[in-house]
Structure 1
Amino acid sequence: MKNKVSELFKIKYPIIQGGMIWNSGWRLASAVSNSGGLGLLGAGSMYPEVLREHIQKCKKATIKPFGVNVPMLYPNLEEIMNIIVEEGVQIVFTSAGNPKTWTSWLQDKGIIVVHVVSSLKFALKAQDAGVQAIVAEGFEAGGHNGRDETTTLALIPMVREHIKIPLIAAGGIATGRAMLATMILGADGVQMGSRFVASEESSAHRDFKQSVVDAKEGATHLTLKELAPVRLLKNKFFNEVQELYKTGPTIEELKNLLGRARAKKGMFEGDLDNGELEIGQISGLIHDIKPVKDIIGDVISEFELAKTEAVKL
């Protein structure tokens, strides 16, 4: 499936796996790359030397292109970037920060840079910074999210109207029909996160994966906007956050409730009561845990069928 995204990354299908914290280790990234997409390691939940280990294991597990997602709000950023260069990673997705900070530095070393945004304003800033592609992520997405709450359906055509570089749609995409819909709206490819959480190769705890499969419509909610907006499955911790909001809490009180390693506790360790369970609205359409190759195969088959059906309309 040749287009701007597949040609940019030298991959078979314009499908990118989101670099989700506590989910995106070397097994998932290499499986996605081996299945024709672009796998990403999630550096946000890795200490620098842990990231190095995952990069090295990924290189042994696939000869296909893969990349690293780097949220720029985390510490040890310079060390992480140096490890990426030392290990010969060719693709970096940056997020949660100013794209001007690292884009030129990485590109000078031959690395393709993509930036993740949640609004047209930041898409234009990323394009001005010189990135080679943009991920525009709608409000439906799991994990950290945009403050403007713009949905994917509205965001993609607005961004497409104003940018010239390749555009990747994210947020609420787990099926071939959704992939086709966003591409009709102007995207050149898609990034999927939640669907790959519920894969055999995801590093998430099995209980968290099952909670994604069990989720129904309305099971997630965007909260903690005063800190960094995040979409979570509703659980005991989420309810505690909502109760605290009734008291008009300060930012410090919200931080104290959140504490440390809350996401690790939920997604990686499987504490479904006290953990932070980050997942997208599309979890209501995810009904099974299966191997990555089957997920990508299903998406592409449905995409091709939907495209054929659309021609008949």
Structure 2
Amino acid sequence: MEKLFPDNSVSKLFNIEYPLIQGGMVWCSGWKLASAVSNNGGLGLLGSGSMYPEVLREHIQKMKKATTRPWGVNVPLLYPDIDAIMKIIVEEDVKIVFTSAGSPAKWTGFLKEHGIQVAHVIANSRFAKKCEDAGVDAIVAEGFEAGGHEGREETTTFSLIPLVRRMTSLPLIAAGGIGSGQHILAARALGADGVQIGSRFALSEESSAHQAFKEHAAAAKEGDTMLTLKQLAPVRLMKNHFFKLIEQAQLRGASAEELKELLGRGRAKKGIFEGDLDEGELEIGQVSALIEEVKPVNEIFDALLAEYRETKKRIL
């Protein structure tokens, strides 16, 4: 059979079969999802952003038992327990870390000193040089179609990828709005070496998200998500009662402090993990409009690869 991704820099870097990375999403990316992605030939990532340090250790240890293939941990650098998280990553001999939500200069040197491969997530081309200077091994360029927290520039993925490609020769991973084989081929045509897929895996059977959230997000239509909370940290959410409260507060000119009070604590957990579809933050990407049902990871991989193969044959 034809090799789908011959001589691919992302596959070689992480020693994986396909240059398909699973997003390290809060409340979705536990060991069951990450190990399933790795066992199917991609790179699974644990989402440490919704884990206390010792919970992350538990998931790391379960990953070691669930797969012998490469995997990693996604670490938001704004995490309050970042020192403890990094200590556990080193102690547990994690080989790959994807960092986000902060400067790549903060922790890349420390991780590299411990023999860990590092990829950093950016939302604008200006940070590509900073990533190179910090010594990262790969760059994830994420457009604002993605679910969850975003960059302030609101640059779309298919505009961002060629802009970042101009700035760096490092392995480049496209993220945001990618959920099909057609998307993968298009991202590669624009200069990406691989892709990171979030929403489609968030709505898999192995995702740790609540079933009610999965089914609700899989039923999303075009326009059902929107970027909001730009005064604090831009985040893409599905429209629900909580979203409407935020929207009304912003329309009346609420201050950042008022919005923080309205947001409170644990809104993402309430929506994604506990399945409160009214009062929780329902973080999901625009590509949810193309996802029709919750499926196991192996079926998602089969579909992605078949779509990629068929599209490449049709247009090339």
Q: In which range does the TM-score fall when normalised by the shorter chain?
A: over 0.9
What TM-score comes out, normalization by structure 1 length? 0.99
Match of residue 302 from structure 1: 307
| CA distance in structure 1 between the partners assigned to 2:158 and 2:253 by the alignment | 33
Match of residue 15 from structure 1: 20
Cα shift at 1:213: 0.9
Count of matched residue positions in the alignment of Structure 1 and Structure 2: 311
Match of residue 152 from structure 2: 147
User: Secondary structure at the residue paired with 1:289?
Assistant: coil
2:251 matches 1:246 = yes
Match of residue 100 from structure 1: 105
Query: What letter is aligned with 2:32?
Result: R
Match of residue 85 from structure 1: 90
Match of residue 286 from structure 1: 291
| CA distance in structure 2 between the partners assigned to 1:44 and 1:122 by the alignment | 22
| CA distance in structure 2 between the partners assigned to 1:17 and 1:261 by the alignment | 23
Picking from 268, 271, 277, the partner of 1:266 is: 271
Picking from 25, 34, 38, the partner of 1:33 is: 38
2:109 matches 1:70 = no
Picking from 47, 50, 54, the partner of 1:49 is: 54
Cα shift at 1:34: 0.2
| CA distance in structure 1 between the partners assigned to 2:248 and 2:290 by the alignment | 29
Match of residue 170 from structure 1: 175
User: Secondary structure at the residue paired with 1:69?
Assistant: strand
Q: Which runs of 5 or more residues in structure 1 are unaligned?
A: none
Cα shift at 1:246: 1.8
2:162 matches 1:157 = yes
| CA distance in structure 1 between the partners assigned to 2:188 and 2:278 by the alignment | 38
2:128 matches 1:123 = yes
Cα shift at 1:250: 0.8
| CA distance in structure 2 between the partners assigned to 1:103 and 1:246 by the alignment | 40
| CA distance in structure 1 between the partners assigned to 2:167 and 2:307 by the alignment | 30
User: Secondary structure at the residue paired with 1:134?
Assistant: strand
**CA shift digits 1:47-100 (9 cap, x unpaired):** 000000000001100000000000011111011001001111100000001111
2:107 matches 1:110 = no
User: Secondary structure at the residue paired with 2:97?
Assistant: strand
User: Secondary structure at the residue paired with 2:281?
Assistant: coil
What TM-score comes out, normalization by structure 2 length? 0.98
| CA distance in structure 2 between the partners assigned to 1:29 and 1:76 by the alignment | 22
- Deviating 4+ runs (over 2 angstroms): none
Match of residue 262 from structure 2: 257
User: Secondary structure at the residue paired with 2:98?
Assistant: strand
User: Secondary structure at the residue paired with 2:252?
Assistant: coil
Cα shift at 1:124: 2.0
Cα shift at 1:126: 1.1
Match of residue 187 from structure 1: 192
| CA distance in structure 1 between the partners assigned to 2:282 and 2:17 by the alignment | 32
**CA shift digits 1:229-269 (9 cap, x unpaired):** 00000000000001111221111000000000000000000
| CA distance in structure 1 between the partners assigned to 2:128 and 2:73 by the alignment | 20
| CA distance in structure 2 between the partners assigned to 1:123 and 1:292 by the alignment | 31
Query: What letter is aligned with 1:190?
Result: V
Q: Which runs of 5 or more residues in structure 2 are unaligned?
A: none
User: Percent identity over the alignment?
Assistant: 64
| CA distance in structure 2 between the partners assigned to 1:58 and 1:228 by the alignment | 31
| CA distance in structure 2 between the partners assigned to 1:246 and 1:85 by the alignment | 46
Query: What letter is aligned with 1:103?
Result: T
| CA distance in structure 1 between the partners assigned to 2:231 and 2:78 by the alignment | 15
Cα shift at 1:282: 0.4
| CA distance in structure 2 between the partners assigned to 1:127 and 1:214 by the alignment | 40
Cα shift at 1:307: 0.8
Match of residue 58 from structure 1: 63
